[in-house]
Amino acid sequence: MKQVKRIMAAIAFSRYAKDILEFSWQLAERLGCELVVVNVINIRDVQAVGEIHAMGYQVDPQDYVKGLEEERRSQLQKMIGEIGIDPGRVKIVFHVGHPLDMLLKTVEEEEIDMVVMGTKGRTDIEYVFVGSVAEKMFRRCPVPLISYRMKSA
């Protein structure tokens, strides 16, 4: 069996993000490996901002992405501090694109050995996996994928 050296935590900033991050860190600690935290800014959101900009409104897609990344990085740094994650063993990665494509790309580019992600994203849809990024990741991910199940609300 291949040694796990890098675990990827896919964080969508749902209300479960901190739990997923904490679980991923506990796993990384026990296995003595690095944690790569990934967030994808959905290209559809950026395109919508671009369409609004094209209508003459004062919104810029590049500023939107920059502001969103800064906000999310700040949220992640706060969670990392609260959880007690060793900053030397965590890498934060942001991408803009289609979530499934960017997560799969990150697995390859970052030489990820295992992925941890939740079954619910930002929409917190009650049904699980029907057409979701998580369901597609389970079918296409080239490495073991752990589904973090959230506690009932």
Q: Where are the domains of the chain?
A: 6-148
pLDDT at 107: 98
List CB contacts of 135: < 8 A, sequence separation 6 or more.
129
What pTM did the predictor assign?
A: 0.85
Torsion of CA 95, 100, 105, 111, to 10 degrees: 100
pLDDT at 42: 87
pLDDT at 128: 46
Angle of helix 17-31 relative to helix 61-83, nearest 10 degrees, comes to 60
**Low-confidence stretches of the chain (pLDDT beneath 50):** 122-130, 153
pLDDT at 129: 44
| 18: its two tokens | 């901190």
In CATH, 6-148 is 3.20.20.370: no
pLDDT at 44: 81
